[in-house]
Structure 1
Amino acid sequence: MPLKQQSILIIGGGTWGCSTALQLARHGYQNVTVFDQSPIPSPIAAGNDVNKILEEGSPSDADSPEQYVWNRMHQLATTAWKTDPIYREFYHPTGFVMAASQEAAQAEVTDAYERCKDDSKTRLLNKPEDFRATMPEGILTGDFPNWKGFFRETGAGWVFARGAIEAAHREASRLGVQFVVAPVESLVYSDGGDDVIGLKTVDGKMHLGNRLILCAGANSDQLLDFERQLRPTAWTLAHIQMTDEEIKLWKELPVLFNANRGFFIEPDAKGQLKFVDEHPGYCNFVRDPMTGVETSVPFAKHQIPVQSERNARQFLRETVPQIADRPFVFARICWDADTPDRQFLIDRHPRFKSLIVAVGGSGNGFMMMPAVGITVHHVLEGVLEDRLKYGFRWRPETAVGRDWRDTQHRFGGDGAVGDFQRVEKWTNIGNNL
């Protein structure tokens, strides 16, 4: 049977699942079904968010292999965010202020400046008044203690995340993709156990397919042994309500990002300002009683640790103290999965020839949404370019002896990966879960 007529089952209808479904449907695949535990967009999907940072990029033959992969994906994604009729309305190229106020984090900012200074209009920021001048008067009123960074006026901004997922879902549905609301309980294996032939949902139903694509984000390693390549890791975000006057003043602002403090992006359509406290992430460490191996198990919660609230408010006090003590109107933890090198894992499984995995967003997955759909499509057809194929390969050797408490070059908080099992107090916003 021709590939485009075969049954393709996609597990996970989040950022990567929807982009993959759309890409396949656009290229004539006639029998694509997406399974997710909730209607799209799922309330627990990392991409079900008001905004995500986007940086543009372009590859160069002078790049290192790792940097080529990163820049190539940026290039593919940027082209789509700028020109694709499904994605382009959601990109806001407002610019990007990147900074740090800790020495180790400042080294990362310097590296970022060196990479982009020739491709965009940039200027260095060394004093509080430099930072304040990046936005209209009256917004950045903080003292910016020890902040150093740069303003990338072009080649960066933010995307309306939820809108992009909903648009990809609508178009994929229009093109014939079926979306099934049913949690997946397990993969289904062939009699000899040498291939994956389908999946089983929690209602006990078996769904057989010729090809399966596993892109269930942080929950993916609940369905397949990734040999320690995936560490489910969560971050924290919150919203506060802005006034009508502030909403007008704060429109079309550049992203403000401090690598060890946090970031915010302009208020959303409801006038809510989302902000994030930067830290190396939280895990929910649980020890498997059978093997004794420590794992991280995702869970949903629309609250954040009180310590994260304190850190987020400190970020606001340094930048926009006039709103730093307002009550939160929303908060949640947001899960992703880290690979050991923070590079994506998008490959055909070495043992199960009918299974493709697309996982390991490592905190960078949403901005690459359109590029990931293209990449999975190319993996399925066996035409992925060699440098991407190598960079995204199945690579358990990188996880041998892996330290799951490695900060992976992330900063902020107390400088360590947090453990949800040790959180003593959570926020109580609207008495949500």
Structure 2
Amino acid sequence: MTTPESRVIIVGGGVFGLSTALWLARGGYKDVTIFDRCNFNTNYYNPADGCDGASADINKIFRATYGSREHSQDLALEARDIWLEWNRAIKESHPSDLPRPLTPEDELLTLCGVYHLADGPTMIPRYVENLQVMEETAPSFRHLQFIKDEADDERRASAHGPEWSKKFHLFDKFKHGATNGFLDAGSGITLADKACVYARYLCQKAGVKFVLGHPQGELDHLITKQNGSDKRVKGIKTCDGSTHAADLVVVACGPWTAAVLPEAHRSVEATMGTVMFIDVPEDRKDLREKFHPDNIPVWRFIQGEGEGRISTPRTKYSPEPINTVPLYGLELMKQVIGGLFPELADIGFTDSRLCWYTDSIDNEFVIDYVPGYSDSLFICTGGSGHGFKFLPVLGKYVKNQLERVPDRFTPIWKWRTVEEGKQCNGLEEGEAGPREMSKIKLAKPQDFHFPVKGSSLSGRLQQLNVAPKEKSQL
């Protein structure tokens, strides 16, 4: 049984590890240590400086709409309140009291709105369900959501403020108006790297210890001990040869989880998403104003509906680095950005990366004791591309699972694996599936350029019969 007296080691200093450590320390746990191979003391979770986990990013979308998954909606709304508390605390802090590179002017969550768009004039079922559930369960938040092309919602958006009227009409001409969706004024964007820096700062204030960087912070292997039928994890060995004893080891390694814990390979897998960057030049003040969060929401666009060896990430910082992205995702981005914001197409992409996250069999988290280790090994992962927003609050409920205090999340987050004959979010495909990385057509340098004005990408997209989510099998 895990108690505040237990020695707890957490492997992984991203969202799941930070949030877990913070809530344990604030709950009276006296000996919590996070190990991570990245030196967050000096790189501050910067994805351009050696950080390749999903938590290390410039920004992440914050949304609260989850349709029938009301538990995730409620968790997001609970997290939102804490995000705003963090904003207030940072604003009221003296600059010298904040960790680098934070300043009192930083907002970890900016409520600039999220525009949920999809192809076609009729609202897709996913969006219909999102709004219906929000109306039934959180009507005050539903009041902040405005359906595209609806006259009453246009009036409500205008009443919310003149900037929201402008945002409401921002995508009217995209695809000749043949789109559907809604603007969510209660959502927005988080400063991902700075949020992790702040969460680590709060952890340190609460007494959490950190061992960071290679080799001292990098896991070599788990130390296990077999005594008859009883198998336990007794601690970890790091790449500098040191051993570290623990009563409980929490594996919160994101897409590297199955590499650390092979038993998890039928529960979670590494999945990559394509991320492209466009740096607006300093001297283009017109564009910097146009694309400032005060004037434009975050937006997402859905075009159509649909979705052996251990899957592990391969990034630009891997021993065998990869410095390109899947061609399908790149071409789709070029089509959408070129159609919406041709002035950005004129600038062109300035960088790219693969964002590796952790898919579970049902897009729910996997937060539970690993079977067969006598409650000495715990898994905390499965962000499935939507975990970051829960940073401020996730650990509250991880602590419940650690202490075996049942709550609404216990049956949802329990240990589970692929079931034969069932669709399990692609994990059942294994290496034979179409998303295996060696089968993905990758972009070449010339593919990163936007097409000449007036040309079309539709023909090229039709030739790329690749699912929009890819995974690596290395």
**Bin for the TM-score computed over the shorter chain:** 0.7 to 0.9
- Note if 1:389 corresponds to 2:391: no
Which one of 170, 179, 183 corresponds to residue 210 of structure 2?
179
| TM alignment of 1:3-402, pairs within 5 A | 3-40=3-40, 41=45, 43-56=51-64, 67-84=69-86, 89-101=107-119, 106-117=124-135, 118=139, 119-126=142-149, 134-135=166-167, 142-143=174-175, 146-153=178-185, 155-181=186-212, 182-192=217-227, 194-224=231-261, 225-226=263-264, 228-242=266-280, 243-252=284-293, 253-260=296-303, 280=307, 293-301=308-316, 302-352=323-373, 353-385=375-407, 387-396=408-417, 398-401=418-421
Give the structure 2 partner of residue 422 of structure 1. Answer: 439
- How far did residue 75 of structure 1 move? 3.2
Does structure 1 conserve the Cα–Cα contact (< 8 Å) formed by 2:362 and 2:425? no
- How far did residue 250 of structure 1 move? 2.0
Give the residue type in structure 2 aligned to 1:236: T
Q: Deviations over 1:13-54 (max 9, x none)?
A: 111111222222222322111111111226101111121111
Counterpart CA distance in 1 for 2:145 and 2:170 is 23
Look up the SS of the partner of 2:200 in the other structure.
helix
Give the residue type in structure 1 aligned to 2:191: F
Counterpart CA distance in 1 for 2:395 and 2:17 is 8
Give the structure 2 partner of residue 411 of structure 1. Answer: none
Give unmatched runs, 5+ long, in structure 2. 92-106, 158-163, 317-322, 449-474
CA change 1:245–1:104 in 2 (3 A) is closer
Task: Judge which range, 298-307 or 202-211, deviates more.
Answer: 298-307
Counterpart CA distance in 2 for 1:190 and 1:390 is 29
Counterpart CA distance in 2 for 1:79 and 1:57 is 15
CA change 1:279–1:207 in 2 (3 A) is farther
Give the structure 2 partner of residue 271 of structure 1. Answer: none
Counterpart CA distance in 1 for 2:30 and 2:424 is 41
CA change 1:141–1:102 in 2 (3 A) is closer
- How far did residue 143 of structure 1 move? 3.7
Identical-pair percentage:
24
Give the structure 2 partner of residue 286 of structure 1. Answer: none
CA change 1:214–1:407 in 2 (3 A) is closer
- How far did residue 294 of structure 1 move? 4.5
Give the structure 1 partner of residue 319 of structure 2. Answer: none
CA change 1:294–1:227 in 2 (3 A) is closer
CA change 1:124–1:178 in 2 (3 A) is same
Task: Judge which range, 228-237 or 38-47, deviates more.
Answer: 38-47
Rg (Cα) greater in structure: 2
Look up the SS of the partner of 1:135 in the other structure.
helix
- How far did residue 229 of structure 1 move? 1.1
Give the residue type in structure 1 aligned to 2:131: Y
Does structure 1 conserve the Cα–Cα contact (< 8 Å) formed by 2:324 and 2:442? no
Give the residue type in structure 1 aligned to 2:75: M
Give the residue type in structure 2 aligned to 1:173: Q
- How far did residue 403 of structure 1 move? 5.2
Counterpart CA distance in 2 for 1:141 and 1:350 is 54
Give the structure 2 partner of residue 406 of structure 1. Answer: 426
Does structure 2 conserve the Cα–Cα contact (< 8 Å) formed by 1:141 and 1:320? no
Counterpart CA distance in 1 for 2:170 and 2:309 is 49
Does structure 2 conserve the Cα–Cα contact (< 8 Å) formed by 1:122 and 1:151? yes
Counterpart CA distance in 2 for 1:394 and 1:405 is 16
Give the residue type in structure 2 aligned to 1:4: P
- How far did residue 157 of structure 1 move? 1.3
Counterpart CA distance in 1 for 2:205 and 2:394 is 21
Counterpart CA distance in 2 for 1:314 and 1:164 is 32
Q: Which has the higher helix share?
A: 2
Does structure 2 conserve the Cα–Cα contact (< 8 Å) formed by 1:305 and 1:426? yes
CA change 1:375–1:427 in 2 (3 A) is farther
- How far did residue 215 of structure 1 move? 0.7
Give the residue type in structure 2 aligned to 1:34: I
Counterpart CA distance in 2 for 1:78 and 1:57 is 12
Look up the SS of the partner of 1:191 in the other structure.
strand
- How far did residue 314 of structure 1 move? 0.6
Look up the SS of the partner of 1:18 in the other structure.
helix
Counterpart CA distance in 1 for 2:195 and 2:306 is 26
Look up the SS of the partner of 2:392 in the other structure.
helix
- How far did residue 423 of structure 1 move? 3.8
Give the structure 2 partner of residue 412 of structure 1. Answer: none
Q: Deviations over 1:348-395 (max 9, x none)?
A: 22322022211111111101122221122222233241x211111112
- How far did residue 304 of structure 1 move? 1.7
Task: Judge which range, 179-188 or 75-84, deviates more.
Answer: 75-84
Look up the SS of the partner of 2:17 in the other structure.
helix
Aligned length: 384
Give the residue type in structure 2 aligned to 1:185: D
Give the residue type in structure 2 aligned to 1:161: A
Give the residue type in structure 2 aligned to 1:123: F
Give the structure 1 partner of residue 461 of structure 2. Answer: none
Does structure 1 conserve the Cα–Cα contact (< 8 Å) formed by 2:121 and 2:178? no
Give the alignment's TM-score, normalised by structure 2.
0.72
Counterpart CA distance in 1 for 2:266 and 2:82 is 33
Counterpart CA distance in 2 for 1:348 and 1:86 is 35
Look up the SS of the partner of 1:316 in the other structure.
helix
Q: Cα RMSD (Å) of the superposition?
A: 3.4
CA change 1:116–1:136 in 2 (3 A) is closer
Give the alignment's TM-score, normalised by structure 1.
0.78
- How far did residue 232 of structure 1 move? 1.3
Give the residue type in structure 2 aligned to 1:362: S
Give the residue type in structure 1 aligned to 2:8: I
Give unmatched runs, 5+ long, in structure 1. 262-277, 281-292, 409-415
